[in-house]
Structure 1
Amino acid sequence: MTAPLFKGVITALITPLRDGNVDEDALIRLLERQIAAGVHGVVAVGTTGEGGGLTIEEHKRVTSICVETSAGRIKVIAGAGSPATYESIDLARHGKTCGADASLVVTPYYNRPSQAGLVAHFEAVADAVELPLILYNVPARTGVDLSNENVAHLAAHPNIVALKDATGDMSRVSWMHANIGANGGQFDLMSGDDHSALGHMAHGGTGVISVTSNVAPEAMVALYNAAAAGDYATARSWQDRLIGLHKALFLDASPAPAKYALAKLGLCSEEMRLPMLPTCDAAKPGIDAALVAAGVI
């Protein structure tokens, strides 16, 4: 099996807002902080980047800024999720044009297509754009669950190279590791769930697309490096330190808690775009305590 294309800590980067607009200066600061911390990549305008709340023009602008600023130092994955296949194709094409390393395409949400419809959606995007495509399965958000067998089917497409799995089900990554790579081909298995990312890697995963690394990138990189080296005692010690933060960043609707934490660090504002709201007061003490426990502040 060849070396993974996508591995390590890839941050699902928030999109900072100020006065109703994308705060481009803050975006660049956040990206440079990620690069300095040693992350392996970022996702521009995924779910955590409020892809559903930005205009198409803003979406494309943020992706372009991430590509231009990173200048090849880390991988940039263009969020291309949409309930409409034509829009996913448009966003993936922009990712290709601006120089992104891949596109991340979530299962279409709200309209709940059949398994055959999911396969047709991903194949249409992969056929239309010659750019590596990462499947994203997050049933809790989208209302549909891409089956293991259809992940395996899609993995045979030359442009479909990885899966971001946010189900938290370790049996799924074990099945995929055993079955999809059995023919010697390469298909990368990324966790999309910080809570279970360590277990995911132990079962054959290649890394994590992380919300927590927005706030604690160095710690997440240390956790990954230990796990990748087979030093699970050290990896568990990092997980013990971070588990409170993993949970605290979902005490309110994500990414509001991450923005609250980053605002406490002076890196951006808490501003969200409706229907999302800034973190509620009830959640703030829990986030504050988790930041201290994780050594962030």
Structure 2
Amino acid sequence: MPLSGLFIPVITPFAADGTVAWPALEALAVDLLRQGADGLVALGTTAEPSALSAAERRDVLDLLAAVCRDHDAPLIAAANDPGELRMLADRPAVTAALTLVPPFVRPGPAGVLAHFAALAAASPVPLVVYHVPYRTAQPLTAATLRELAALPGVAGIKLATGAIDPEVIDLLAGPPPGFAVLGGDDVVISPLLALGAPGAILASAHVATADFAALIAAWRDGNPVKARPLGHRLARLSAALFAEPNPAVVKAVLHARGRIPSAGVRLPLVPAAAASRDAALALLR
């Protein structure tokens, strides 16, 4: 399946006692697909994977794979090392792995290229490079991103540079053939789509899912009259949903709307303040 359209990095809902709320996770995943998401992402940062046990991560992956299989939807699974990639081999619903540019160590462009070449050679599925330099501390030029795109087994990128900067404009002005540029910065997703990104991975789309799907479709169909005001409204919503560390506000809103049993997050995150929740809810109303 092509890597385009709306992908949602699914949260991990918790019950009041802090355990994973499995029925709520399944219901939420089904609802997101029915409301217009083209596919889902398992175990992205929005899912709080570092706070989950190995068994919980495995079960989250299996549950979302089953939902996507039943709905004929693609699943992207976060996997950052050979062991995590091997886990994807016997899960046919997983169509790609979301793999982070090595964080903190700053290996430089040559190191990043060598890293992804090795992982792609060992991976049972194509890789989507997760480029988020304000978290990894590893900037990459458009030229380096094109070199990444040329690697066998690299199918796309989640582009989350935090801005519409010259490197982003350069890449989208001439994207490599067959290389999917998926926007990953919720607040600026509309201008990224206007520049030609074929899709997005958006945590904000847990709410107003149909509107985010409509935004992507409007830019794809060349309808700026519809896309611009919709993009402005959704940018304000995304800013409210990211007013505190993700996914705290998203969870608070989902809980307030009765879609998950609690607004709980696991440490080091803490629950969103009531004011942040209410500000996002007001924009939805």
For residues 255-295 of structure 1, the C-alpha deviation after alignment (integer angstroms, 9 at most, x for no partner) is: 1111111111111221111111111x2xx324323323234
Tell me if 1:93 matches 2:86. yes
2:110 to 98, 107, 116: 116
Partner of 1:84: none
Q: Hey, what's the Cα distance between the residues in 2 that align with 1:121 and 1:218?
A: 37
- 5+ residue gaps in structure 2? none
Q: Hey, what's the Cα distance between the residues in 1 that align with 2:249 and 2:63?
A: 24
1:61 to 59, 64, 67: 59
Distance 1:164 1:56, change over 3 A: same
1:152 to 146, 163, 166: 146
* 1:68-107 aligned within 5 A: 68-71=66-69, 72-81=71-80, 88-99=81-92, 100-107=94-101
* 1:181-200 aligned within 5 A: 181=176, 185-200=177-192
TM-score norm. by structure 2 comes to 0.92
How many equivalent residue pairs?
280
* 1:20-59 aligned within 5 A: 20-59=18-57
TM-aligned CA deviation for residue 221 of structure 1 = 0.8
Partner of 1:85: none
Q: Hey, what's the Cα distance between the residues in 1 that align with 2:142 and 2:53?
A: 33
Tell me if 1:173 matches 2:168. yes
Q: Secondary structure at the match of 2:281?
A: helix
Contact 2:85 2:124 in 1 (8 A): no
Partner of 1:11: 8
Contact 1:248 1:290 in 2 (8 A): yes
For residues 144-167 of structure 1, the C-alpha deviation after alignment (integer angstroms, 9 at most, x for no partner) is: 223322211111122101011111
Q: Hey, what's the Cα distance between the residues in 1 that align with 2:79 and 2:140?
A: 17
Q: Secondary structure at the match of 2:156?
A: strand
Contact 1:78 1:102 in 2 (8 A): yes
Contact 1:105 1:134 in 2 (8 A): yes
Q: Secondary structure at the match of 1:21?
A: coil
Contact 1:51 1:79 in 2 (8 A): no
Partner of 1:212: 204
Distance 1:145 1:52, change over 3 A: farther
TM-aligned CA deviation for residue 6 of structure 1 = 0.9
Q: Secondary structure at the match of 2:169?
A: helix
Q: Hey, what's the Cα distance between the residues in 2 that align with 1:142 and 1:52?
A: 16
Q: Secondary structure at the match of 1:190?
A: strand
Partner of 2:233: 241
TM-aligned CA deviation for residue 180 of structure 1 = 4.1
Distance 1:146 1:50, change over 3 A: farther
Partner of 2:266: 273
TM-score norm. by structure 1 comes to 0.88
Q: Hey, what's the Cα distance between the residues in 1 that align with 2:103 and 2:48?
A: 14
Q: Hey, what's the Cα distance between the residues in 2 that align with 1:119 and 1:58?
A: 31
Q: Hey, what's the Cα distance between the residues in 2 that align with 1:226 and 1:130?
A: 34
TM-aligned CA deviation for residue 112 of structure 1 = 3.0
Distance 1:31 1:178, change over 3 A: same
Distance 1:171 1:207, change over 3 A: farther
TM-aligned CA deviation for residue 179 of structure 1 = 4.0
Contact 2:89 2:124 in 1 (8 A): yes
Q: Hey, what's the Cα distance between the residues in 2 that align with 1:194 and 1:229?
A: 20
Partner of 1:294: 284
Q: Hey, what's the Cα distance between the residues in 1 that align with 2:255 and 2:190?
A: 27
Q: Percent of aligned positions with the same letter in both sequences?
A: 32
- 5+ residue gaps in structure 1? 82-87
TM-aligned CA deviation for residue 94 of structure 1 = 1.4
Contact 2:141 2:167 in 1 (8 A): no
Contact 2:95 2:125 in 1 (8 A): yes
Supply the AA of the counterpart residue of 1:265.
Answer: R
Partner of 1:131: 125
